[in-house]
Amino acid sequence: MAPIVTNLEEIVEGYISKNNVMIFSKSYCPFCTKVKNLFDSLSVKYEVLELDHAENGEDVQKYLIEKTGQKTVPMTFIKGELLGGCDDTMKANAENRLLRLVGSAQNGVSAAGGVAEAAIKDNNVVVFSKSFCPFCTKVKDLLDSLHVKYEVLELDQRDDGSDIQAYLVEKTGQKTVPMTFIKGTRLGGCDDTLKAHAEGRLLDMAGATESNGIDASAILDLDSYQYDLVVIGGGSGGLAASKEAATLGARVAVLDYVCPTPLGATWGLGGTCVNVGCIPKKLMHQAALLGEAAKNMKHFGWEVKEENVTHNWQAMVSNIQDYIKSLNWGYRVALQDKNVKYLNAYGEFIDHHRLKTTTKRGKVTEITAKHVILATGGRPRYPDIPGAKEFCITSDDIFSLPYPPKKTLIIGASYIALECGGFLHGLGYDVSVMVRSIFLRGFDQDMAGQVGEYMENEGVKFVKKCVPTQVEKIADPQDGEPGLFKVTGKYTNGDDFSDQFNTILLAIGRDACTDKIGLDKVGVTVNSKNLKVPTDDRERSNVPYVHAIGDINDGKLELTPVAIQAGRLLAQRLFGGASDVCDYVNVPTTVFTPLEYGAIGFSEEDAVKFFGEDNIEIYHQKLWPLEWTIAHRPENVCYAKLICNKANKNRVVGFHYLGPNAGEVTQGYAIAMKLGATKKHFDETVGIHPTCSETFTTLAITKSSGQSADGGGC
């Protein structure tokens, strides 16, 4: 075989396009030999390029990885289409598809096949879809958000749709839609397309160079810039990006300004997580857990009278706020140590690369930057009803509330709503939660229902299928005591709701803080539905020098560690010559409700929709933590569940846990799932006894069996 020397892409593509069957191989690889022997046994003519013998074999493999996402050889192409590796080739043969695939290149295709082939050939990007499929919609929405032009064939709306799908199944072995092709090569389904986006390959494959009419060459560079990078927003992601960029030698400034809540609450540097999110939430959750522990102490021999155990709201708030202020100061010191300029000012664009900063006292300054990172985060949403902003609070207010909330109504059923409701009830307050539809939208609904059921059994009241219509003041807060307010609402059946509460906390969602920072003046595209900024695989907006990370990055996870990771990697790409992108797949998370909930990967509902019910096996088990036994806490409420894809060696695609220390339990398994763990891997792992986590190493009961999942003792 002649060595590869120049114009690598053209030559590789030539091998693929000019040969009916093309195998990229390594001469010493047993799996490559297996594939070549198979074709030999079938008397199929093929061309092979042994990469370990080619002069630029390593570069060829890098190109193929970029093109296909497949990181190993053999790599088999038939009629210009990637079949896959050894397993894929063997599977195609076992399913009697291989010879038909090879033969179809010689014998022509059906009319439906001709339509499919024409669509694949004539369009840079084509998506075979069904209009009702949520996963098809997810792929189309992703391409729309990236401003990638594509052709779509909705198979359910065509007379020949079933024939086209039958042809595609025969051609590719993929039995479901969506099916994405880029430049004539099959990328795959929803999961493959999202993975290509997360790995930073999708836009490069599609060859997208401009979007939304913004031509990078039309944006004039300035003669000089005060800063290499300006970050708008001093939250977790913005701080991570700014410090990393400064470490790499960039001149960096951070703009951070907190607009007060309607009740006047404000806070220091650090963003939502530190000031009004994860940190104070977890500390108040811990306070509630300690209250529960106090009730259990007598069962462990401690002689404590429950009537002597009381909680002081003001003391808790004061101590938490003191700790947060120490973090605020620490962040300022860290920026100073990294030579990052901290500007406590509101930032907004006035033109390309130019920003106006306004301090609390109204001082206006103009600065320039070569790159801008938007990391403004979000703020709680208020319903459009009388009295909402005047008399209600949000998560922006609860953690610094100067008086105990007492009888509280929480409006919403998000994780913020249930977490706040949980710790307030745990601290001894009368708590009601008004739920419009379902608990924990976006999470596994089996698990969400169990979280709600546990809270209800513990004494939290739920006002279900109801929405508020008005809030009226009866009495103002005074002398360290809350006020009194009347809430009226409407049930979905038309009945009226009315009750009085000392505190009403709104938790109905959050809006991105992008509408008042001048994005329209530089042409940055914003999703009108949620005000978030669509970006590409590398967090770039449609304006090349403007990037977005964290909660305002459209379609990405709203989690602090995700923002930190994305910000750090973005800075490394901008100023360190790196290429790694943030991986948004299989990110673990935990909801700190009274019964904590940890999750990774697919919910049960999404797994069934995505992989097909016949391909899913669910292993589950109720458990009773040892610490709960002699305290007589509820049995069979903690729960472990693994969702496995039978079609892929029982790979674990969903992990779900209800029980104590959910964050600690879930974090470790996230690594296993990143590495593609199967049920067999879990089974082969030796558990630590006695722990809740060990349950995942012994799961044997499947939902499909119908057997009871109730647990026993050790």
- Phi and psi of 412, rounded to 5°? 125, 160
Q: Are strands 431-435 and 408-411 parallel, antiparallel or unpaired?
A: parallel
What radius of gyration, in Å, describes the C-alpha atoms of the chain?
29
Distance, in Å, from the CA atom of 64 to the CA atom of 62, rounded to the nearest integer, reads 5
Distance, in Å, from the CA atom of 263 to the CA atom of 503, rounded to the nearest integer, reads 13
Where are any strands of DSSP class E within 189-265?
227-232, 252-255
Token representation of residue 525: 């595209």
SS3 678: strand
- Phi and psi of 617, rounded to 5°? -125, 135
Is 689 among the residues known to form the active site?
yes
**Which residues does 403 contact at the CB level (< 8 Å), separation at least 6?**
313, 314, 477, 480, 481, 482
Question: 211 and 156 in contact (C-beta within 8 Å)?
Answer: no
CA-closest candidate to residue 292, choices 631, 690, 649: 631
Distance, in Å, from the CA atom of 398 to the CA atom of 431, rounded to the nearest integer, reads 14
Distance, in Å, from the CA atom of 355 to the CA atom of 214, rounded to the nearest integer, reads 19
What is the CA angle 132-137-142, rounded to 5?
175
Does the N-terminal peptide bond of residue 178 adopt cis geometry, omega within 30 degrees of 0? yes
Distance, in Å, from the CA atom of 620 to the CA atom of 618, rounded to the nearest integer, reads 6
What is the CA angle 26-29-30, rounded to 5?
145
What is the CA angle 389-392-397, rounded to 5?
100
Axis crossing angle, helix 98-107 with helix 161-172, rounded to the nearest 10: 120
What kind and span of H or E run contains 639?
strand 638-645
The count of other CB atoms within 10 Å of the CB of residue 136 is 25
Token representation of residue 621: 């088990």
Catalytic residue among 53, 197, 371, 689: 689
Where are any strands of DSSP class E within 238-333?
252-255
What kind and span of H or E run contains 119?
helix 111-122
Length of the chain: 714
- Phi and psi of 153, rounded to 5°? -110, 110
| Catalytic residue numbers, as ranges | 689
